[in-house]
């Protein structure tokens, strides 16, 4: 019905203009009828849009506070269970493996040799720094060792 009414009144303003040029009142009446119809049609469309928005908001509230909240609660429960059991066990296993690797590395003879070389380098560096400080104040110092 809306399509046929649009076809009936869609060109009414043009016909009203043409009728006004010809001096008839029929064109002016058709223009007013078309304007009234368009106002009524816009009112109905706006009301339908408001109903649609109201339904959308109701649906969103139901999802947020009813079914959606229940789904979130279930997900939170499951995530907490996984964090307390499976993830804890995985973390513990990884920590044990890291510790065992660290112990194995420290027991390795190459690691010990490297630490001894580093200690000797640090000791020599400290000796040279102290000697340089003394030579700066007292002049060259002969070393007997």
d(CA 32, CA 12): 9
Residue with tokens 């304007």: 35
d(CA 107, CA 135): 42
Q: Give the pLDDT mean for 134-145.
A: 72
End-to-end CA distance of the chain: 115
> Would the pLDDT of 33 be above 90?
no
- Per-residue pLDDT reduced to its tens digit, 114-137: 999 999 999 999 998 888 888 877
- Per-residue pLDDT reduced to its tens digit, 99-118: 888 888 888 888 889 999 99
- Computed on alpha carbons and rounded to an integer, the radius of gyration of the chain in Å comes to 46
Helix (H, G, I), strand (E, B) or coil at 63: helix
> Would the pLDDT of 95 be above 70?
yes
What whole-number percentage of the chain has pLDDT above 90?
16
Structure-block tokens of residue 121: 């380098």
> Would the pLDDT of 69 be above 90?
no
């Amino acid at each position: 019905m809306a399509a046929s009414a649009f076809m009936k009144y869609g060109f009414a303003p043009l016909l009203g203009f043409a009728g006004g040029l010809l001096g008839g009142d029929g064109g002016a009446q058709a223009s007013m009828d078309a304007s009234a119809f368009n106002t009524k049609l816009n009112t109905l469309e706006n009301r339908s849009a408001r109903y649609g928005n109201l339904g959308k908001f109701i649906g969103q509230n139901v999802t947020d506070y009813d079914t959606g909240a229940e789904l979130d609660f279930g997900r939170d429960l499951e995530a907490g269970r996984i964090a307390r059991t499976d993830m804890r066990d995985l973390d513990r296993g990884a920590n044990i493996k890291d510790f065992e690797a660290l112990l194995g590395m420290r027991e390795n003879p190459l690691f010990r040799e490297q630490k001894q070389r580093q200690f000797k380098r640090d000791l020599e560096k400290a000796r040279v720094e102290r000697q340089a400080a003394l030579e700066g104040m007292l002049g060259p110092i002969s070393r007997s060792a």
